[in-house]
């Protein structure tokens, strides 16, 4: 008997790519969305309501969980775990973040780690997938700056193993399709090379044949800019802690997870840049 699968955040960056993988392999699933205007094959999720989540999760063997960066994300995770326990979900696949640890001194990994602890202690079989920073950030957050010719970030020359969202989704999809292979495992997902912002922007610059400057701005200026954009303080604290981690060199490192789980080499930053070239022209 095939398992019943629910994909939360199904219209997000990772969720939508997971959906592509499952559809390509004719794996049936239900998409969890935060809109009451649900379509066929979708279910409405209200993370503020354990009762809603319990009903939404009922009858599903496996639930993929991804919580957006939000001041209530830990409470939402508590609600989701409680609902999964009551609904007798058999396996939780949780998309976390590289370095997540509830004892960390930095805010982002500490917060993500608190959620991971909820999953670990739920009594439900689980798999944690922990990706590093997304290559697609250069499209989703920095495209206009790249077009303008200068990117400002308070990260110095810190490097990280940037990973393509398509690889993150490929790993998660394989876990979802064959969860018995990954019971109670924690998979850190990275690309194959460590690059600083300046090095990554250099690859994009070569791809679009136009110079791109990188400016290492002071953290206070970056935080003030985020505040000026109307970003909630929680999100500023999360991103600021990530920038501190990168600048300190703690984000550097690569794993073989993508190749081991999917059987394919990770997408290189050069390939990512070529694929998304139109985003910066």
Q: Which pLDDT band, with edges at 50, 70 and 90, does 137 fall under?
A: very high
What is 5-132+163-190+253-266's CATH topology? Answer: Rossmann fold (3.40.50)
Alpha carbon distances (Å) from 10 to 20, 44, 280:
10, 11, 26
Give Dmax (Cα) for the chain.
56
Average pLDDT, the chain: 96
Query: Cα separation of 171 and 91, whole Å?
Result: 16
Q: What pLDDT does 38 receive?
A: 82
Determine how β-strand 195-196 pairs with β-strand 30-33. Answer: unpaired
Query: Cα separation of 103 and 116, whole Å?
Result: 12
What is the radius of gyration, based on Cα positions, of the chain? 19
Cross-strand partners of 150: 213
Residue 1 has pLDDT above 60, yes or no: no
Q: Dihedral through CA 104, CA 115, CA 137, CA 106, nearest 10?
A: -20
The percentage of the chain sitting over the pLDDT mark of 90, rounded to a whole number, equals 95
Q: What pLDDT does 200 receive?
A: 98
Q: Which pLDDT band, with edges at 50, 70 and 90, does 2 fall under?
A: confident
* Residue pLDDT, tens place only, 226-278: 999 999 999 999 999 999 999 999 999 999 999 999 999 999 999 999 999 99
Mean predicted confidence (pLDDT) in 39-56: 94
Q: What pLDDT does 3 receive?
A: 92
* Residue pLDDT, tens place only, 192-221: 999 999 999 999 999 999 999 999 999 999
Q: Which pLDDT band, with edges at 50, 70 and 90, does 40 fall under?
A: confident
Residue 154 has pLDDT above 60, yes or no: yes
Determine how β-strand 62-65 pairs with β-strand 91-95. Answer: parallel
Question: Does residue 33 contact residue 65 with C-beta atoms inside 8 Å?
Answer: no
**CA angle at residue 57 from 131 to 116, to 5 degrees?**
30
Mean predicted confidence (pLDDT) in 157-181: 98
Question: Does residue 253 contact residue 191 with C-beta atoms inside 8 Å?
Answer: no
Cross-strand partners of 191: none
Query: Cα separation of 145 and 123, whole Å?
Result: 46
């Amino acid at each position: 008997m095939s398992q019943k699968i629910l994909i939360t955040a199904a219209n997000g960056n990772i969720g939508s790519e997971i959906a592509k993988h499952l559809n390509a392999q004719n794996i049936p699933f239900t998409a969890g969305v935060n809109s009451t205007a649900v379509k066929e094959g979708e279910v409405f999720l209200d993370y503020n309501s354990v009762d809603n989540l319990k009903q939404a999760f009922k009858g599903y063997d496996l639930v993929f969980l991804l919580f957006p960066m939000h001041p209530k994300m830990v409470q939402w995770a508590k609600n989701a775990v409680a609902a999964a326990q009551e609904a007798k979900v058999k396996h939780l696949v949780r998309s976390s973040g590289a370095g997540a640890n509830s004892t960390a001194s930095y805010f982002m990994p500490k917060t993500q780690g608190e959620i991971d602890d909820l999953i670990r202690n739920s009594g439900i079989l689980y798999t944690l997938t922990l990706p590093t920073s997304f290559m697609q950030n250069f499209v989703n957050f920095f495209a206009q700056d790249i077009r303008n010719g200068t990117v400002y970030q308070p990260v110095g020359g810190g490097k990280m193993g940037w990973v393509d969202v398509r690889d993150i989704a490929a790993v998660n999809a394989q876990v979802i399709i064959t969860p018995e292979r990954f019971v109670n495992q924690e998979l850190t997902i990275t690309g194959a090379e460590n690059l600083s912002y300046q090095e990554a922007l250099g690859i994009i610059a070569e791809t679009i044949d136009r110079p791109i400057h990188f400016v290492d701005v002071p953290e206070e200026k970056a935080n003030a800019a985020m505040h000026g954009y109307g970003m909630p303080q929680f999100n500023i604290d999360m991103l600021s802690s990530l920038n501190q981690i990168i600048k300190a060199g703690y984000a550097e490192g690569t794993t073989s997870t993508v190749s081991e789980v999917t059987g394919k080499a990770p997408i290189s930053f050069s390939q990512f840049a070529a694929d998304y070239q139109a985003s910066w022209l």
